[in-house]
Structure 1
Amino acid sequence: MEIKRAAVIGAGVMGSGIAAHIANTGVPVLLLDIVKPGAADRSALAKGAVERLLKADPAPFMHPKNARLVTPGNLDDDLGALSECDWIVEAIVEDPKLKADLYTRIDALRKDGSVVSSNTSTIPLAMLTQGQSERFKRDFLVTHFFNPPRYMRLLEIVAGPETRSDALAAVADFCDRRLGKGVVRCKDTPGFIANRIGVTWIQSAVNAAFDLGLTVEEADAVVGRPMGIPKTGVFGLMDLVGIDLMPHIAKSLLATLPEGDLYRRLHREFPVIQRMIADGYTGRKGKGGFYRLNREGGAKVKEAMDLVTGQYRPAERPRPESVAAAGRDLRALAEHPDRTGRYARRVLAETLSYAASLVPEIADSIVAVDEAMRLGYAWKQGPFELIDRLGTAWFAELCRSEGLPVPALVEQAAGRPFYRVEDGKLQYLTTGGVYDDVRRPDGVLLLSDVKRASKPVWKNGSAALWDIGDGVMCLEFTSKMNALDGDTMAAYQKAMTLIGSGKGDWKALVVHNEGDNFSVGANLGLAMFVANIALWPAIEEMVEAGQRTYRALKYAPFPVVAAPSGMALGGGCEILLHADHVQAHAETYTGLVEVGVGVIPGWGGCTEMLARHAANSRGPKGPMPPVAGAFETISLAKVAKSAAEAKDLLYLKATDGITMNRDRLLADAKAKALALADGYTPPEKPAYTLPGPGGKTALDLFVQGFALQGKATPHDVVVCDHLARVLTGGPKTDPMEPVGEDRILKLEREAFMALVRHPATMDRIEHMLTTGKPLRN
């Protein structure tokens, strides 16, 4: 079965988001909702949803053009179009009666072999299919997306006893490869995996905060980053998803959970939260939540809710003693005697013991549970990985001390870890008490698995080289935020030495890592330190080394494939520009952002953007258009918010590949590297026709116009003056004579060195290092 056309019924936040993400794959999708009473346009709800999608930030569409693949309609006039759809997703309100009536209508119209799925998060599949035809039951399953569907990777999938195996396989494969989801098979139980555990964690954390007298900031400081949970913690998370959503989820769970379930015992309602919901304080979508930004008097003051009085007060940045003392030691956090340590101990005990007690009820293995919590709630580690951090024997004692039963799985572990590495393979403890290998789907290659099974070919403080098989080497960045420095350049040079001609044991190089971000660019802290002691020759050598290295990689006798995900900024973007091919994860955010810290791209970024714009067949011809295009992109520090947008900005070539599922990125990059290695020849060196001083004058006028409008600061004008000189070829350039890239690289170096000595640039760098935000000076 191939999914060529889809439909989503329900144009609310989730339904429209699912439709947008299906459109991101290039598949046409029909978006239907009810006819709003009295509406002049009978499809107004669906059309309005598409309009909101195009305005939303973060954007549900990976490219605005994808909106053209969504056809809005209504359930009265357009339901017949379902006969053309291969996959129909129901995303209406959580009402079993309404869903049942809709399914009967769908079943009468859909074609044979089509699949119907529900995005329900709380209603068991058995209840949804009750009373439906046998044909419908064979083609029905649950596909539970997490909000927002484009960005949250978890897709919980539930099949019924009658569900066709090929229908399940087709939808799972589409969600994996095309939608980029981490597909987790769940059993047909209330809340499935992530919400069953996640909602219990939220309830536990809220209860304990009230009982122990913690502020919302203190609670979030403890259950956030120290536990590997996003910095929103628990109260910030409720603000994000909507405080008013919690009672609805609780009602559904309480209606279906078995007697004696821990969530039933933990569930409580708090008058202060009930008042917040009644008064419209539902979080970020409302007037505020546990946190709000007070803009009275033109100021922006972050405030937090006082859980005792229900009033707002200026938010604090607490550093609980338990967190400060424990560092990254989770057990030390839970053992700390102060009230924040007791808070950590109670939340960990209740949440993790609950999770451990649910296997195999909710899933066949602990691996599925950990995967669901990592991908659905953005935890760095799942419940069983967290128990391993604490130690299974220690955790058993924690449960007893907190008056909780020790889960059977924990008893069965008998002090053994839930995960271990044996003969280079990651293994997990099964419900049978023996270890089994963690198996990856076909087409998945993870660098973390390679690292468990082998030692690096070579490494230093900022990078490592790995053998990923079949003669392909992988260069991994290992510095903080994968910032680039001299050690990174040394790793590149070592890779070139080892691979050599590409005709021996090594054939190609892939540049990839599994960090949150591919690379945020050059190490600004190091640059600031060197500049402060006026070691200008060291900075110039750093710029020259970067240019030499990137240029050597571009013209190496073997192919270089970059495989980025997350941010690839500044020098990280320049890596992509110099690679033979980029196999980018769909969620790659790339750009040349150097002007934000008062310099220009110095490792060949200007040169390569000129080449991209000159080769752009869609653009106008002549010496000035490529210069103007590169100048606009670099001077405005444009950042692509997806790999698809990166092609528009020419950071990626039209021939570069996009991988939707990050787990498949390295395998796709390796396959492309091997394909390129067969008969590979390096690119020829280009020559440019540049406009010279006349072109610079035109760019100067452009910048002056921006300055007069207040859109360019005084130092922006200085930076743009240097950028214009580089891109137009310098004062001695004759538009009739070709310019080689060596001259442009020399101009890049000169401009970079002039700017890095400028006091305003130093102010920008220092401000960025201190605040993480650009300085507009």
Structure 2
Amino acid sequence: MNIQKAAVVGAGVMGASIAAHISNAGIPVYLLDIVPKAAGNRNIIAETAIQKLLKAEPAPFMHKNNARLVTPGNIEDHLHWLADVDWVIEAVIEDLQIKKSLYQKLEGICRKDCLISSNTSTLPLKLLVQDMPENFKQRFMITHFFNPPRYMRLLELISGPQSRPELVSAIRSFADIHLGKNCVDCKDTPGFIGNRIGIYWLQCGLLEAIDLGLTVEQADAVMSAPFGIPKTGIFGLLDLVGLDLIPHILDSMRSALPPQDAFHQINRLPELVRKMIADGYTGRKGKGGFYRLNEINGKRVKESINLQTGEYSRSERPGPEAVKAIKKAGLEAFLSSADTSAIYAWRVLSKTLAYTAGLVPEISDDIIAIDASLRDGYNWKYGPFELLDQLGVGWFVDKLQAENRDVPPLLAEKRPLYKVSSGKLAFIDLSGAYHPVQRAEGLLLLSDIKLQGPAVLENPSASLWDIGDGVACLEFHSKMNTLDMDSMTLIRQSIAKVSSEFSALVIHNEGENFSAGANLGLLIQAIHSSDWPAVEQLVIQGQQTYKALKYAPFPVVGAPSGLALGGGCEILLHSDAIQAHAELYMGLVEVGVGLIPAWGGCKEYLRRWLELTKRPRGPMPPVVKAFETISLAKVSKSAAEAKELLFLADSDGITMNKNRLLADAKAKALSLSENYAAPEQPCVYPMPGKTAGILLSMGIKAFRLLGKATAYDVEVSEKLAYVLSGGDSDITSPLTEDDMLALEREAFMSLVKQSGTLARLEHMLETGKPLRN
């Protein structure tokens, strides 16, 4: 069964966002909702939902054109449309009778091989199909998306005893490959996996912070980065979810969970939260929540609530030094200390991890599904059992026993929950036996490769791995995968190694970001000491290394995900091909720190525009297009947008599921390796020269007069214009690649000595934001 057309019934925030993400897969989707009373436009709810999606941030659509694939309608007039769809997702309000009434209508309209699913997170499947015809039970399941659907990778699948395996398998395959989801099979239990644990964790975090007298900032600082949890922590996440949902969730858990469940011990709503909800402080969608933005003397100020008094004051979060201190001390030492924050962290984590361990096999037969649910549903870096292994199961159990607390059977033997056996990752079950982790077909992870043996080459910033079939993988692994001299050394060594021992190279890593660009800290050090030869050498090394990669005697395929900025973008522009994860944020952003791309980024990006326009229109339009993108530091908001900006070519591939990226890139590399020939040298640039420079300069000054550019923006942009127009050359004297590199180097070295550039560099390093000086 192939999913070629879908429908979502229910155009609320979740339903509409699910429809948007299905359109991201290139699939047409109907979006239906009720007809409001006295409505002139009977499709107003669905149409309004689509318009909101187009304005929302973060964007639900990977490209605004995807909205054309979403057809709005209403249940009264257009339910018959669903006769030709392959998958119908019900996303109406959490009311059993309303849902079942809809199902009865769908039963008579949808094809017999159309799968119908619910996005419910609170109602069990057995109640949803109760008293429904046998054929309906066979093609029904729960597909629980997490919000926002485009970005949260978890999809919980709950099927019943009568569900047809081939339909369930079709949805799992489609969601995996086309929607980029990590599909986790869940048992039909309250909250399934992600929310059963996640809600317990949030409720523990809320109550313990109040009991211990912590501020919301203290609680969020400790219950985040130190344990691989997003910086929202407890209270930031509650604000995001919406405080008004908490009473409904607690009521649902109260009625659905068995009496002996430990959730009942923490199932209470603090009076403070009741008052906040009553006063409209329901989180980000209301007037604020535990945090709010207030205007004081014309400036927006972030404030937080006092958990004891309910009064707001300026938010003061502990600095990064506090988090660094925890990491330096080690998690065990920190959790054993008498500090109030440590006591808080231990109470929340110990309850959550013990509760989770006690839910095996009630909610899942294996720990892998549970870990995946918290990683991909709540953005934890480590799942609960991976975190237990980091803490040490024996240490954790001993601490529980010292406090006379029950130890879950899964942890009783104090054995590691994961171990490496014969080069493969294995997980433990309740009997104490270990089983190899099974990967889906067509999935290749660098983390698995690393278990099989040492790297082919490595240094502190990068490594080269053998990923089989004659393909090597170059991995960056510095902080934010920034690039430095060690990175360049490893790239050059890899070129030599791959030339003699492999047939192709993939550039990929499993970090949150492909690369944030050059290491600015090293650059600032050299500037402070006025070590200009060192700075110029860094530029030369980058240019020569990337050029050598471009002309290597084997195909190079970049496989980026997340941020690919500055030097990270430049190395991709020098690759033969790119296989990108759909969530790719790629751009040449050097102007934000007062510089221009100088590792060949200007020449390679300009080359793309020159090749696209294919004269006789001449080089001027490509120069203007390249200048516009680089001078405005444009960054793609998806791989689809990266194609529009020409950071990706039409022939470059896009992978929706990040876990499949390396396998897809390897396949592309192997395909290119057949009869591969390196690009011809030299590449010639017919540049307009001074004429283009004058025109661009006029545009820059006009922007300045309109207040759209700062004084230093003008200075940086003038240097960029000089490079992209070909310097002092003219159309009759084409430039070589080396000529273009020389122009980049000249402009870079001129800017790096300016105080305005130093100010921008230091501001970026301190705040992570560009300075407009």
TM-score, scaled relative to structure 1: 0.98
Aligned to 2:679: 683
Q: 1:220–1:233: 8 Å Cα contact kept in structure 2?
A: yes
* Cα separation, 2, equivalents of 1:220 and 1:402: 25
Picking from 640, 648, 651, the partner of 2:647 is 651
| CA shift for structure 1 position 381 | 1.0
Q: 1:25–1:179: 8 Å Cα contact kept in structure 2?
A: yes
2:76 is aligned with 1:67: no
What is the one-letter code of the residue matched to 2:420?
A: V
Q: 2:156–2:185: 8 Å Cα contact kept in structure 1?
A: yes
Q: Cα deviations across residues 205-233 of structure 1 (Å, max 9, x unaligned)? A: 11111111111111112211122211111
2:723 is aligned with 1:723: no
Q: 2:225–2:323: 8 Å Cα contact kept in structure 1?
A: no
| CA shift for structure 1 position 403 | 4.9
* Cα separation, 2, equivalents of 1:722 and 1:745: 14
| CA 552–56 in structure 1, closer or farther in 2 if over 3 Å, else same | same
Q: Cα deviations across residues 378-431 of structure 1 (Å, max 9, x unaligned)? A: 1111111122222222222333344542111112xx121101112221111012
| CA 699–620 in structure 1, closer or farther in 2 if over 3 Å, else same | farther
1:313 partner SS: strand
Aligned to 1:97: 97
CA RMSD in angstroms, aligned pairs only: 1.4
Aligned to 2:406: 405
Aligned to 2:25: 25
| Deviates further, 318-327 or 438-447 | 318-327
* Cα separation, 2, equivalents of 1:222 and 1:739: 56
Q: 1:426–1:449: 8 Å Cα contact kept in structure 2?
A: yes
* Cα separation, 2, equivalents of 1:328 and 1:94: 46
Aligned to 1:539: 535
Q: 1:322–1:341: 8 Å Cα contact kept in structure 2?
A: no
* Cα separation, 2, equivalents of 1:673 and 1:752: 33
* Cα separation, 2, equivalents of 1:338 and 1:749: 52
Aligned to 2:114: 114
| CA shift for structure 1 position 328 | 6.2
2:286 is aligned with 1:286: yes
2:731 is aligned with 1:735: yes
What is the one-letter code of the residue matched to 2:461?
A: S
2:711 is aligned with 1:714: yes
Aligned to 1:555: 551
* Cα separation, 2, equivalents of 1:760 and 1:321: 32
* Cα separation, 1, equivalents of 2:771 and 2:615: 33
Aligned to 2:51: 51
2:501 partner SS: coil
* Cα separation, 1, equivalents of 2:614 and 2:298: 45
What is the one-letter code of the residue matched to 1:656?
A: D
| CA 384–573 in structure 1, closer or farther in 2 if over 3 Å, else same | same
Aligned to 2:375: 374
2:73 partner SS: strand
Aligned to 1:391: 392
Q: 1:482–1:520: 8 Å Cα contact kept in structure 2?
A: yes
Aligned to 2:138: 138
| CA 3–325 in structure 1, closer or farther in 2 if over 3 Å, else same | closer
| Deviates further, 716-725 or 71-80 | 716-725
2:502 is aligned with 1:520: no
* Cα separation, 1, equivalents of 2:316 and 2:438: 45
2:585 partner SS: strand
| CA shift for structure 1 position 688 | 2.0
2:505 partner SS: strand
* Cα separation, 2, equivalents of 1:488 and 1:395: 39
Aligned to 1:667: 663
Aligned to 1:480: 479
1:217 partner SS: helix
| CA 578–314 in structure 1, closer or farther in 2 if over 3 Å, else same | same
Q: 2:226–2:326: 8 Å Cα contact kept in structure 1?
A: no
* Cα separation, 2, equivalents of 1:216 and 1:484: 36
Aligned to 2:490: 491
Picking from 610, 613, 631, the partner of 1:635 is 631
Q: 1:322–1:338: 8 Å Cα contact kept in structure 2?
A: no
| Deviates further, 338-347 or 91-100 | 338-347
| CA shift for structure 1 position 155 | 0.4
* Cα separation, 1, equivalents of 2:766 and 2:305: 28
Give the 5 Å matches for 1:186-205. 186-205=186-205
* Cα separation, 1, equivalents of 2:6 and 2:613: 34
1:682 partner SS: coil
1:343 partner SS: helix
* Cα separation, 2, equivalents of 1:388 and 1:499: 36
What is the one-letter code of the residue matched to 2:493?
A: K
Aligned to 2:449: 450
2:217 is aligned with 1:221: no
* Cα separation, 1, equivalents of 2:619 and 2:656: 37
| CA 11–322 in structure 1, closer or farther in 2 if over 3 Å, else same | closer
1:773 partner SS: coil
What is the one-letter code of the residue matched to 1:492?
A: I
Q: Cα deviations across residues 434-462 of structure 1 (Å, max 9, x unaligned)? A: 00111111111110111111100011111
| CA shift for structure 1 position 622 | 1.5
What is the one-letter code of the residue matched to 2:84?
A: E
Q: Cα deviations across residues 308-361 of structure 1 (Å, max 9, x unaligned)? A: 111101112236989835636222222111322221221122111110111111
TM-score, scaled relative to structure 2: 0.98
2:451 partner SS: helix
* Cα separation, 2, equivalents of 1:658 and 1:667: 12
2:302 partner SS: strand
| CA shift for structure 1 position 738 | 2.4
Aligned to 2:569: 573
What is the one-letter code of the residue matched to 2:406?
A: P
Q: Cα deviations across residues 90-140 of structure 1 (Å, max 9, x unaligned)? A: 111111111110100111100120100110111111111111111010000
Ranges in structure 1 where 5+ consecutive residues have no aligned partner: none
* Cα separation, 2, equivalents of 1:739 and 1:546: 20
Q: 1:24–1:62: 8 Å Cα contact kept in structure 2?
A: yes
Q: Cα deviations across residues 660-708 of structure 1 (Å, max 9, x unaligned)? A: 0000000000110011000001122432222111111110111011000
Aligned to 1:15: 15
* Cα separation, 2, equivalents of 1:582 and 1:298: 47
* Cα separation, 1, equivalents of 2:455 and 2:247: 51
Q: 1:226–1:327: 8 Å Cα contact kept in structure 2?
A: no
2:162 partner SS: coil
Aligned to 2:460: 461
| CA 34–322 in structure 1, closer or farther in 2 if over 3 Å, else same | closer
Q: Cα deviations across residues 463-508 of structure 1 (Å, max 9, x unaligned)? A: 11110011111110111111101111111110111122xxx53101
* Cα separation, 2, equivalents of 1:36 and 1:193: 35
What is the one-letter code of the residue matched to 1:329?
A: G
1:26 partner SS: coil
Q: 2:613–2:622: 8 Å Cα contact kept in structure 1?
A: no
* Cα separation, 2, equivalents of 1:394 and 1:223: 20
| CA shift for structure 1 position 432 | 2.6
2:77 partner SS: coil
| CA shift for structure 1 position 580 | 0.3
Give the 5 Å matches for 1:154-173. 154-173=154-173
Aligned to 1:41: 41
| CA shift for structure 1 position 369 | 0.4
Ranges in structure 2 where 5+ consecutive residues have no aligned partner: none
* Cα separation, 1, equivalents of 2:377 and 2:616: 46
* Cα separation, 2, equivalents of 1:24 and 1:361: 35
Q: 1:321–1:338: 8 Å Cα contact kept in structure 2?
A: no
Aligned to 2:211: 211
What is the one-letter code of the residue matched to 1:378?
A: N
* Cα separation, 2, equivalents of 1:620 and 1:635: 26
1:426 partner SS: strand
| CA 190–277 in structure 1, closer or farther in 2 if over 3 Å, else same | same
- Give % identity: 56
* Cα separation, 2, equivalents of 1:354 and 1:548: 55
What is the one-letter code of the residue matched to 1:722?
A: K
Q: 1:562–1:669: 8 Å Cα contact kept in structure 2?
A: yes
